[in-house]
Amino acid sequence: MRVAVMTAPGQVHVEDRPDPQIIEPTDAIIRLSATCICGSDLWPYRGVEKLEGPQPMGHEYADIVEEVGAAVTTVRPGQFVVGSFFASDNTCEICRAGYHSSCIHREGVSGAQGQYMRVPLADGTLLATPEVPSGDLIPGFLAASDVLGTGWFAAVAAQAGPGKTVAVVGDGAVGLCGVLAARQLGAERIIAMSRHEARQRLAREFGATDIVTERGEEGVTRIKDLTGGLGAHSVIEAVGTQESMMQAIGSTRPGGHVGYVGVTHDVQLPGMGLFFSHVHLHGGPAPVRRFLPELMRLIGERHIDPGKVFDLALPLDQAADGYRAMDERRAIKVLLHP
Ligand SMILES: [Zn+2]
């Protein structure tokens, strides 16, 4: 099969590798007709995160089950399924509390930027749609696999809801899905922080009521100006840098909540500033599996269309162009067709 492999920072190529096989009886093999590049793939691409040798890329997937192991009971070949970047058993105490991405049996998945992939713990990880959806819905389901699930978790962690003002730091696909989530959860006012016109437009389409172009200290000042000097009730942090984290904490009112889902890189929190901020911090790798039943229903019934985050589609063999487009911020999120 063909799969995108990162060999060094800035170096992605598509190569032939053996098709994945069932290894454990709890595995499933998925056949992929669409896959995508994640903002988090840019960390190793930019050399910020170290690569341990050539790495098959991709951890977002929504497609047809090709084969299942002998112990798999809840999904069967031919079904359309969605899973997430951590396989989970969905039965341990941590999963039952809703934190599937910290499942005691969790396993990372990779190689989704290819024609086939192996998903461990298929019963706990995958959720099937009632029927195979029409093709135009596939980008939406693919978004549910990571960016929508992650934006949704951020909005829930930030306690977005009726009567709340929500600020969103980060205008990548996750931040934009955070806007969509905040809207669905009933937030009254949603302030998207973005200086990029196409992203501002999509933010508004997803439900943003205000746009703030300033960032850092100036961004914090602007959010306070818009909220009677208090700050937002709920702030979504969807970047993962020192500046974005401090921007998120600074934009939150005392007693408010930050939902942080940008994979942190060298973030250090100042103890005293945090102490006097009175801000709740909650986040981490999103337990997407917790939200999949609801997200898949909303997408399948066409209540939401998170697939709009894909603004560039390429054949898998042109994955390198897709990485460049995302790295240079020419594309919000790139869809690849194997
Ligand atoms: Zn578990």
Is 136 found in the same domain as 6?
yes
User: How much distance in Å is there from the Cα of 106 to the middle of ligand 1?
Assistant: 7
| Residue 102: partners with Cβ closer than 8 Å, 6 or more residues away | 94, 284, 285, 287
List the structure tokens of 260. Answer: 């942080």
User: How much distance in Å is there from the Cα of 101 to the middle of ligand 1?
Assistant: 8
User: How much distance in Å is there from the Cα of 37 to the middle of ligand 1?
Assistant: 26
Is 119 found in the same domain as 190?
no
Which residue shows structure tokens 């499933």? 28
Is 22 found in the same domain as 8?
yes
Is 63 found in the same domain as 34?
yes
Which residue shows structure tokens 């302030």? 191
Instruction: Supply the pLDDT for residue 329.
Output: 92
CATH number of the domain encompassing residue 179: 3.40.50.720
The SS3 of residue 270 is coil
Record the pTM. 0.96
User: How much distance in Å is there from the Cα of 151 to the middle of ligand 1?
Assistant: 21
Number of structural domains found in the chain: 2
Helical axes 197-206 vs 173-184, angle rounded to 10°: 20
CATH number of the domain encompassing residue 16: 3.90.180.10
Distances from the Cα of 11 to the Cα of 15, 42, 56, 67, 319, angstroms: 13, 11, 12, 32, 10
List the structure tokens of 241. Answer: 């840098």
Look at residues 283, 298, 323 and tell me which one is the last residue of a structural domain: 283
The SS3 of residue 205 is helix
Look at residues 283, 303, 328 and tell me which one is the last residue of a structural domain: 283
Is 155 found in the same domain as 139?
no
Taking the C-alpha atoms of residue 328 and residue 325, their distance in angstroms, rounded to an integer, is 5
List the structure tokens of 323. Answer: 């990485």
User: How much distance in Å is there from the Cα of 291 to the middle of ligand 1?
Assistant: 15
Taking the C-alpha atoms of residue 35 and residue 59, their distance in angstroms, rounded to an integer, is 9
Single out the residue of 140, 44, 27, 24 nearest to residue 87, CA to CA.
Answer: 27
Is 237 found in the same domain as 156?
yes
User: How much distance in Å is there from the Cα of 104 to the middle of ligand 1?
Assistant: 5
List the structure tokens of 127. Answer: 């959720």
Taking the C-alpha atoms of residue 244 and residue 177, their distance in angstroms, rounded to an integer, is 17
The SS3 of residue 150 is helix
Instruction: Supply the pLDDT for residue 330.
Output: 94
Is 135 found in the same domain as 228?
no
Label each residue of 49-60 as H, E or C.
Answer: CCCCCCEECCCC
User: How much distance in Å is there from the Cα of 50 to the middle of ligand 1?
Assistant: 28
List the structure tokens of 310. Answer: 């894909």
Positions in the chain whose pLDDT score sits under 50: none
Is 302 found in the same domain as 230?
no
Contact yes or no for 87/120 (Cβ under 8 A): yes
User: How much distance in Å is there from the Cα of 102 to the middle of ligand 1?
Assistant: 7
Is 220 found in the same domain as 120?
no
Is 212 found in the same domain as 311?
no
Q: What is the mean pLDDT of the chain?
A: 97
User: How much distance in Å is there from the Cα of 91 to the middle of ligand 1?
Assistant: 5
**Which structural domain, as residue segments, surrounds residue 90?**
2-146+287-337
pLDDT digits (tens, 9 = 90+) for 198-229: 999 999 999 999 999 999 999 999 999 999 99
Is 191 found in the same domain as 158?
yes
User: How much distance in Å is there from the Cα of 92 to the middle of ligand 1?
Assistant: 4
The SS3 of residue 107 is strand
Instruction: Supply the pLDDT for residue 130.
Output: 96
Is 262 found in the same domain as 178?
yes
